[in-house]
Amino acid sequence: MAQHENLPGLEEVRFHRDEDLGGLEIRLARYKRFAFDNHWHDCYSIGAALDGGSLCMRNQDNTVVRAGQLALINPGQVHAGVPERERGITYLMFYVEPEVMRRLAAQVAGRDLGYPEFHRVIVSDPRLFEAMGALDRAVAGRAGRLLRESLSLQALAGLLLENGHLRPSTRRAGDEPGAVARAREYLTAHLAGPVSLEDLAAAAGLSAFHLLRVFKKATGLTPHAWLTQLRVERARHLLLAGVTPAETALATGFYDQSHFTNTFRRFMGVTPRRYRAR
């Protein structure tokens, strides 16, 4: 929880930074009377309005972001923040380092195109809005690294594909079945420890962006969902062998007992303790 700043009409609710995601910063804030003067950032700033509204660019009537919309600000792009008088604005703001976006754009396009640029300020896209919300929930909820990295890549790639004059690579199909098989083998071998999307993609021999697309197409699940299923299946066998729930959680990569219990019950319909005692 961030400390409240001594600014009239400003209540800052929450602030997170995720080093696994290239230093991604996420801020949840509420403003009623305080207005930002013209300013700029040296990173990409992606706002998701949760309630109310705000003028993003002074003297431009078409740049009011409202609940359910996104605001896309490029590095160095001068902008402001003037909340609606009655309701103010409550929003999430994602700050993404330029090099992170450049590497992501290169993955999507299949070659280095330099730093991408958003060509619209206000975007109404429920799918992308939900993708950014899912990323925030994963970071705030301390989800596993593979899930956080996957959600970040999917959300940011979606923004660039829809609003950044970026087109996915037209690469021809190669050894994709083999790549998916290698990814599955890697997940099986590393289910007890943290798995990064970068390491998984390297084992598969594909870019992370391409791997996410072909893995789900081939299996019907994301790599993170596949890994979760692997962990639950391994946990089931350990419990049947008499291993305690606490030892099982540790052996199958769950970060705490509560997370293990909730996940196991979601897949099996009973808690680990009840399953072991049957």
pLDDT tens sequence across 228-257: 999 999 999 999 999 999 999 999 999 888
How far CA 127 is from CA of 103, 134, 275, 277, in Å, comes to 23, 11, 38, 43
**Average confidence (pLDDT) over 107-126:** 92
pLDDT band of 85, cuts 50, 70, 90: confident
**Average confidence (pLDDT) over 16-40:** 88
Query: Which pTM does this prediction carry?
Result: 0.88
Residue 63 has pLDDT above 70, yes or no: yes
Residue 175 has pLDDT above 80, yes or no: no
User: Superfamily assignment of 172-278 in CATH?
Assistant: Homeodomain-like (1.10.10.60)
Distance CA 2, CA 21 (A): 20
Residue boundaries of the structural domains of the chain: 10-163, 172-278
pLDDT at position 9, please? Answer: 52
User: Superfamily assignment of 10-163 in CATH?
Assistant: Regulatory protein AraC (2.60.120.280)
pLDDT band of 8, cuts 50, 70, 90: very low
Distance CA 202, CA 211 (A): 10
Looking at the chain, the whole-number percentage of residues with pLDDT higher than 70 is 92
